[in-house]
């Protein structure tokens, strides 16, 4: 600990802290715009400047370390005036269409401008109107709202290890874009959306498909069914003022009913179905000389990354569709047959924590009934927007349950939303099978839980060691795959999620400002929701789901059957990095 003074008050703070961290430790908030903990500490925006006694100029609190005896002033007239001027200069060439902006009410720039009483028209700079890039399937970029904080660049380059965007040009002409100003669709972007949740303004946003949803609901000739991913319930309540880590499952279901969906189902159901196929696929590979390590395939951002950057691992990918796509395939085949409906007359909608799902629905091999498995996918944010737009008082809703037969799930299905959850769910069923269908087989595999970027464990099952690894965040995936490729590491089964922490931290989740992200482990708090649901489930292994058992009895026969492969499995192909 070192002794410092902040605004005239003595504090003892951890040695090695930055002024920003020390102030937070002392209960003082210093505003930031460009800073994101561990990935973007560049001191560029100058919003976090403070006075340090003896220093010749104001210093950036996010990168300036404390030392013993330091005296700091975070709210002096000089500091306040500097921050206000910086904000007014940022606004001089900023698109100020705040009332119609997708980030209205949740914009870090707007919040700071209100706090510092800025004059939005004090400086009138040149205002070029950049062309909006709509080329990608999942998002768009509007550089008229960009403040050059470079948080998106760091998310893409540091967190994901991809780097398809960066600063082009110099000086006043600087803009964030792809190399040679290519459209995002022409790059090796994997659609993960981590740049969107990092952006403090409305410069980046997912493509809004809510109007398509409401048009489908209004069409009397269509039956509209909806599924919601496990991670959505761990984030949705945040959009309505609830604490991070609030379980919104019951109210989420009630809200979707009130939006007018004909049936409200749960992606947890198809997560259980995915495990039935994936666990048996792993056992088949392990016992019959198949390609190992087998790698999970439920994260479309990861799958696209594999196809783009590590095509040599395509044979290792599980052929299972993702839970979203499996659900849509079951709706358009099994469920349509039970109802006596044509698949064309059913609109399959999904609510996902993931922007890459918007890309996934249009992939080849995702049309089991000859029509798309999933017709429309929206993010958690889009669902929250719909609920507000339709005047539904979310916090006042009763707790409701999903419809049957595609709404029931086990604890294994719900933990899919957290990193390590797919692996743990698969192990629950695989170990049960390997130990002679012993109901006393282990259920909790806690070694794969937690938000660490790479986790590994070895389990002795029926006299055989099974070595597994889990990675989340594509920079971590790259590190893991390189170790496998070099022969340094050997595994039997690998889970990879594109987003750090898994789907709970997906690119389509409710956006929390940097002031929260920098000091709160959002991933862990949201994951706790899912593990809490799991712990209270009557059935915690996917094969115990009675609706899944009925599905196999009535339709698929058994896991990895010919019919199951026709409906529930897919294929992959290497992609060119640039078109």
The full length of the chain comes to 579
pLDDT score recorded for residue 356: 98
Clarify whether residues 71 and 148 are in a common domain: no
Q: Which tokens go with 213?
A: 């949803």
Between strands 294-295 and 493-497, the pairing is: parallel
In terms of domains, do 438 and 459 share one? Answer: yes
Do the beta carbons of residue 242 and residue 248 sit within 8 Å? yes
CATH number for the domain that contains residue 176: 3.30.70.20
75 DSSP assignment: S
- Alpha-carbon distance of 287 to 72, in angstroms, equals 65
For residue 420, how far is the Cα from the chain centroid?
Answer: 14
Residue 44 CA to residue 156 CA, distance in Å, equals: 18
Confidence band of 462 (pLDDT split at 50, 70, 90): confident
Lowest mean pLDDT among 117-131, 226-240, 357-371: 117-131
Summarised one tens digit per residue, pLDDT across range 65-122 is 999 999 999 999 999 999 999 999 999 999 999 999 999 989 999 999 999 999 999 9
What are 4's two structure tokens? 């410092």
Residue listed under structure tokens 């690894």: 469
**Is residue 230 in a domain?**
yes
Whether 574 maps to a domain, the answer reads no
Q: What confidence tier does 577 reach under pLDDT thresholds 50, 70, 90?
A: low
Percent of the chain residues past pLDDT 90, beyond the cut: 96
**Do both 264 and 133 map to the same domain?**
no
Return the CATH number at 58.
Answer: 3.10.20.740
Task: Give the separation between CA 143 and CA 193, rounded to whole angstroms.
Answer: 16
166-178 mean pLDDT: 94
Q: Are residues 414 and 332 in the same domain?
A: yes
Instruction: Report residue 490: phi and psi, to 5°.
Output: -130, 130
Question: What is the spatial distance between Cα 443 and Cα 432, in angstroms, rounded to a whole number?
Answer: 9
E strands within 139-200?
139-141, 166-168, 175-177
Residue 234, token pair as written in the block:
């761990």
384 burial class (0-12, 13-18, 19+ CB within 10 angstroms)?
Answer: buried
Mean pLDDT of the chain: 96
The CA distance from 254 to 260, in Å, is: 10
In a domain, residue 88? The reply is no
Tell me whether the omega of the peptide bond preceding residue 237 falls within 30 degrees of 0, making it cis: no
Would you say 457 and 491 are in contact if contact means Cβ atoms under 8 Å apart? no
If you search the block for the tokens 């799902």, which residue do you land on?
A: 357
Q: 90 near 82, Cβ under 8 Å?
A: no
Q: Are residues 568 and 273 in contact, defined by beta-carbon separation less than 8 angstroms?
A: yes
Per the domain annotation, does 172 fall within a domain? yes
End position of a domain, from candidates 156, 172, 206? 206
Task: Report d(CA 356, CA 377) in Å as an integer.
Answer: 10
Alpha carbon distances (Å) from 75 to 58, 116, 213, 301? 12, 11, 48, 43
The whole-angstrom distance between residue 102's C-alpha and the CA centroid of its chain comes to: 18
pLDDT given for residue 463 in this prediction? 87
Question: If pLDDT is split at 50, 70 and 90, which confidence band does 124 have?
Answer: confident
3-state secondary structure 212-271: HHHHHHHCCCCEEEEEECHHHHHCHHHHHCCCCCCCCHHHHHHHHHHHCCCEEEEHHHHH
Name the token pair of 560: 């990895």
Q: Please check whether residues 140 and 221 belong to one and the same domain.
A: no
Q: Note the pLDDT of residue 579.
A: 44
Is residue 419 domain-shared with residue 556, that is, in the same domain?
yes
Domain count of the fold of the chain: 3
User: How much is the pLDDT for 578?
Assistant: 52
Output DSSP code: residue 469: E
Residue written as tokens 């070029």?
Answer: 128
pLDDT of amino acid 128 = 82
- Signed CA dihedral, 338, 344, 346, 348: sign only: positive
Q: What is the DSSP letter of 398?
A: P
Distance of CA 339 to the CA centre of its chain: 34
Name the domain boundary from 206, 227, 250.
Answer: 206
CA distance 192 to 498: 7
Pairing, β 223-228 against β 263-266: parallel
State the Cα–Cα distance between residues 365 and 197, nearest whole angstrom.
30
Angle (CA) 99-103-104 rounded to 5° is 30
Q: How far is the C-alpha of 510 from the C-alpha of 525, rounded, in Å?
A: 13
Residue 504 pLDDT greater than 80, yes or no: yes
Residue 341 has pLDDT above 90, yes or no: yes
Distances in whole angstroms, Cα of residue 470 to Cα of each of 155, 364, 444: 20, 27, 16
For residues 505 and 360, membership in a common domain is answered with yes
Contacts for 574 with CB less than 8 Å, ≥ 6 apart: 307, 311, 314
Mean pLDDT of 23-51: 96
pLDDT tens profile 408-460: 999 999 999 999 999 999 999 999 999 999 889 999 999 999 999 999 999 99
Determine the average pLDDT of the residues in 181-201.
Answer: 97
Domain that holds residue 177: 98-206
Element (H, E) at 11: strand 9-13
The verdict on residue 358 lying in a domain is yes
**257 located within any domain:** yes
Query: What pTM was estimated for this model as a whole?
Result: 0.96
Predicted pLDDT of residue 560? 95
Give the residue carrying structure tokens 């862990």.
Answer: 524
DSSP3 helix / strand / coil % (the chain, rounded to 5): 40, 15, 45
- The pLDDT score that the predictor gives to residue 28 is 95
29/105 same-domain check:
no
CA torsion angle 48 54 57 62 (round to 10): -20
Q: Do 145 and 232 have their domain in common?
A: no
pLDDT at 178: 96
Q: What is the pLDDT of residues 373-389, one digit of tens each?
A: 999 999 999 999 999 99
Q: Of 75, 109, 135, which residue is a domain's last?
A: 75
In a domain, 465, yes or no: yes
Of 104, 112, 85, 301, which Cα lies nearest the Cα of 195?
301
Q: Which of 113, 111, 116, 1 is nearest to 66 (CA)?
A: 1
Q: Looking at the structure, do residues 455 and 352 belong to the same domain, yes or no? A: yes
Q: Is the pLDDT of residue 145 over 80?
A: yes
pLDDT > 70: what percent of the chain? 99
CB-based contact 150:40 (threshold 8 Å): yes
pLDDT one-digit tens code per residue, 222-231: 999 999 999 9
Tell me the C-alpha distance between 540 and 422, whole Å. 13
Give the C-alpha separation, 395 to 252, whole Å: 10
The whole-angstrom separation of Cα 138 and Cα 506 is 13
Residues 105 and 178 in one domain: yes
**222/174 same-domain check:** no
State residue 265's pLDDT score: 98
- Please tell me the predicted confidence (pLDDT) of residue 575: 83
Residue 84 lies in a domain: no
**Average pLDDT, integer, range 555-561:** 97
């Amino acid at each position: 600990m070192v002794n410092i003074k902040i605004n005239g008050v003595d504090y003892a703070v951890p040695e090695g802290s930055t002024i920003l961290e020390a102030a937070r430790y002392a209960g003082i908030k210093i505003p930031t715009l460009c800073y994101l903990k561990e990935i973007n500490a560049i001191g560029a925006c100058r919003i976090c400047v403070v006075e340090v006694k003896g220093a010749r100029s104001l210093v950036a609190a996010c990168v300036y370390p404390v030392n013993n005896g330091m005296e700091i002033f975070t709210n002096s007239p000089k500091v306040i005036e500097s921050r206000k001027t910086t904000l007014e200069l940022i606004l001089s060439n900023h698109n100020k269409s705040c009332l119609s902006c997708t980030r209205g009410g949740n914009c870090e720039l707007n919040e700071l401008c209100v706090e510092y009483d800025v004059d939005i028209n004090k400086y009138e700079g040149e205002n070029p109107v950049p062309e909006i890039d709509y080329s990608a399937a999942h998002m768009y970029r509007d550089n008229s709202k960009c403040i050059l904080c470079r948080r998106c660049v760091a998310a893409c380059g540091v967190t994901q290890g991809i780097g398809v965007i960066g600063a082009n040009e110099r000086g006043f002409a600087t803009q964030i874009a792809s190399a040679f100003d290519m459209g995002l669709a022409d790059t090796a972007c994997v659609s993960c959306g981590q740049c969107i949740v990092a952006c403090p303004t409305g410069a980046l946003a997912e493509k809004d498909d809510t109007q398509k949803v409401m048009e489908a609901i209004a069409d009397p000739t269509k039956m509209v069914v909806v599924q919601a991913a496990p991670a959505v319930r761990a984030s949705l309540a945040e959009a309505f003022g609830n604490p991070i880590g609030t379980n919104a499952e019951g109210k989420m279901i009630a809200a979707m009913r009130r939006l007018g969906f004909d049936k409200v189902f749960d992606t947890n159901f198809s997560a259980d179905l995915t495990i039935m196929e994936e666990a048996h696929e792993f056992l088949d590979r392990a016992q019959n000389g198949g390609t190992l390590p087998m790698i999970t395939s439920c994260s479309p951002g990861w799958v696209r990354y594999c196809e783009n950057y590590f095509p040599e691992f395509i044979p290792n990918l599980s052929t299972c569709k993702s839970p979203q796509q499996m659900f849509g395939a079951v709706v358009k085949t099994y469920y349509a047959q039970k109802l006596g409906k044509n698949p064309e007359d059913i609109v399959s909608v999904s609510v996902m924590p993931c922007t890459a799902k918007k890309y996934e629905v249009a992939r080849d091999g995702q049309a089991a009934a000859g029509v798309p498995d999933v017709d429309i996918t929206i993010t958690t944010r889009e669902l929250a927007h719909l609920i507000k737009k339709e005047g539904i008082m979310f916090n006042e809703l009763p707790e409701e349950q999903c419809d049957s037969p595609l709404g029931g799930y086990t604890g294994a299905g719900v933990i899919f939303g957290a990193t390590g959850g797919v692996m743990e769910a698969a192990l629950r069923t695989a170990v049960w099978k390997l130990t002679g269908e012993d109901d006393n087989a282990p259920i909790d595999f806690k070694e794969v839980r937690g938000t660490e970027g790479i986790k590994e464990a070895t389990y002795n099952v029926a006299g055989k060691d099974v070595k597994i690894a889990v990675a989340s965040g594509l920079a971590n995936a790259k590190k893991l795959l390189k170790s496998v490729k070099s022969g340094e590491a050997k595994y039997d089964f690998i889970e990879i999620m594109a987003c750090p922490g898994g789907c709970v931290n997906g690119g389509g989740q409710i956006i929390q400002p940097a002031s929260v992200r920098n000091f709160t482990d959002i991933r862990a708090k949201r994951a706790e929701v899912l593990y809490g649901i799991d712990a209270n489930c009557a059935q915690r292994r996917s094969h115990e789901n009675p609706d899944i058992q009925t599905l196999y009895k009535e339709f698929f026969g058994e896991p990895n059957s010919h019919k199951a492969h026709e409906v529930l499995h897919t294929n992959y192909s290497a992609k060119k990095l640039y078109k």
